[in-house]
Structure 1
Amino acid sequence: MKRPPVPALKLPLLLLLAVLLLAIVGIAWTQAQSRQAESALLQQQSALNAARQQLDHSRQQERLIATHLTAYQALVERGFVGTEDRLAWIEAAQHANRDAGLYGLDYRLTPRTASPAALAQGLPLGQTVMTLTLPLLLETDLSRFLDALKARAPGVFRVQGCHLSRINEAYSGAGRAPQLSAECDLLWFTVAEKTAPANANPPDGNPAP
């Protein structure tokens, strides 16, 4: 029995082993490249989806702005959006007093404070209390004054409350002397990130001419 020619087969076996090793390395490298390609594809798809979502959000924002732009501009013109315009509020109260044919008024304004969270609904909503004191002949004079003020109001306000009391003062120049005094607290609302500087506001508590 003859032995196999081991020395003669040694080189082919080494070559076969090298080929197998190269094949294994090539398969591993190919799988790694495939996984990297899949990961890169997933990242690109995720980036594409994020870009599409951002585009959809931008389009929704554009439609929302286009829908409410007119209403927003109207609120800006009314003085609801922006810094306080206290002088305009005072002038509106004075004109309403004249429109109602009353006898003048005194006013007092407090610093702007943040509105309750339930009312603000996440907006930078602030409120300023205006206290008005005005003489009346009849109780119905108060409702006429408030109606006139609503017609002239350069902003958004709410009547927080009014208190009536009797007076005995004499008013020169009046055909009939007022018998009542009304003190009303009004809340003026504004949406603004910052309150106007104190020196930009007119002095409080001055009587209307």
Structure 2
Amino acid sequence: MAQNLASPPKTSSPSAKQPVANKSFLKDDFPIIRRASLHLGVSIVLAVSLVVGIRFVLTQQQNKQLQAETELTQMQEKLLVISSEKHDIDQYQPTYLSAIKRGFVGEEKRLDFVEHVKKIQETRRLLPLSYEIFPRQNVQLDPSILVGELELRASRIAIHLPLLHEGDMLNLLADLSQIGTFIPKNCSMVTKPNVEPNLIMPRLDGECELYWLSIGRRPVADPAQAVTPTQ
């Protein structure tokens, strides 16, 4: 007798592959690492900010150091200038004070000149002399001579002096050099004819042309006195 054997039902194997659902990084994976990512981002921002801040501070410090070094150099240069000026003052001050005392610096003191000539005449027992002081003029110097705000001035003096002997003229010039800067330009002595040897009378006629030098500050031009050209 034939037996109908029913085929056993098929059962699924545990090792059978199940269909894999589609995963999204933003939905499935990112939430897992979100906190770590935020920490990493904040750490990067802080690190960059720290580096930038350190560089900024270093730059500021370098600029301040450069500025301090520049100021120090300028102060050292000023100290050198002051030291040099002090050395010049100490070196030339006696000469400057002597020039002031002799009337070379500043305005001419013509009344003092008159008094000094009278005193020289009395001290040296000179015969009566005559002189004329001409208006003061500026002396044109070589452009290579740097005088700054100063200018050299000269007043011409013509002296006529009857002489007992040649030493009278030399003594007069020597005494004048003690009270000012006088540059002889042209001096002459002419013997008088028919002079009695035993009489006290002029034996020579002396003529001398001098320049009385002085130095002073150049006057500043007044703008109010400036002439406006007419059109």
1:64 is aligned to 88
Could you tell me how far 1:189 is from its partner in structure 2?
A: 1.8
**93-102 or 17-26, larger mean C-alpha shift:** 93-102
Q: Structure 1, unaligned stretches of length 5 or more?
A: 169-173, 196-209
Structure showing greater relative contact order (alpha-carbon pairs closer than 8 Å, 6 or more residues apart): 1
Q: Which amino acid aligns with 2:102?
A: R
Change (3 A) 1:167 1:92: same
Kindly indicate whether residue 58 of structure 2 is the aligned counterpart of residue 30 of structure 1. Answer: no
Kindly indicate whether residue 160 of structure 2 is the aligned counterpart of residue 160 of structure 1. Answer: no
Kindly indicate whether residue 157 of structure 2 is the aligned counterpart of residue 134 of structure 1. Answer: no
Equivalent of residue 68 in structure 2, options 41, 44, 51? 44
Q: Structure 2, unaligned stretches of length 5 or more?
A: 1-19, 194-198, 220-231
- Distance across 2 between alignment mates of 1:12 and 1:113: 93
Q: Is the 8 A contact 2:152 2:215 kept in 1?
A: yes
- Distance across 2 between alignment mates of 1:181 and 1:167: 10
TM-score (norm 2): 0.64
Higher share of residues assigned helix: 1
TM-score (norm 1): 0.69
C-alpha root-mean-square deviation of aligned residues, in Å? 3.5
What are the superposed Cα offsets for residues 105-159 of structure 1, whole Å, 9 maximum, x if unpaired?
1313212424524696416242222231415468x74x74244223233111211
What are the superposed Cα offsets for residues 61-103 of structure 1, whole Å, 9 maximum, x if unpaired?
2233223322222222111122211223344445556637344
Equivalent of residue 122 in structure 1, options 144, 147, 155? 147
- Provide the secondary structure at the position in 2 that maps to 1:126: strand
Equivalent of residue 33 in structure 2, options 5, 9, 19? 9
**143-152 or 157-166, larger mean C-alpha shift:** 157-166
Q: Which amino acid aligns with 1:69?
A: Q
What are the superposed Cα offsets for residues 10-35 of structure 1, whole Å, 9 maximum, x if unpaired?
23113212211221122112111101
Q: Runs of at least 4 residues of structure 1 off by over 6 A?
A: 1-4, 163-168
Change (3 A) 1:72 1:106: closer
- Identity over the aligned pairs, expressed in percent? 17
Change (3 A) 1:127 1:67: same
The structure with the larger Rg is 2
**12-21 or 121-130, larger mean C-alpha shift:** 121-130
Residues paired across the two proteins, number: 187
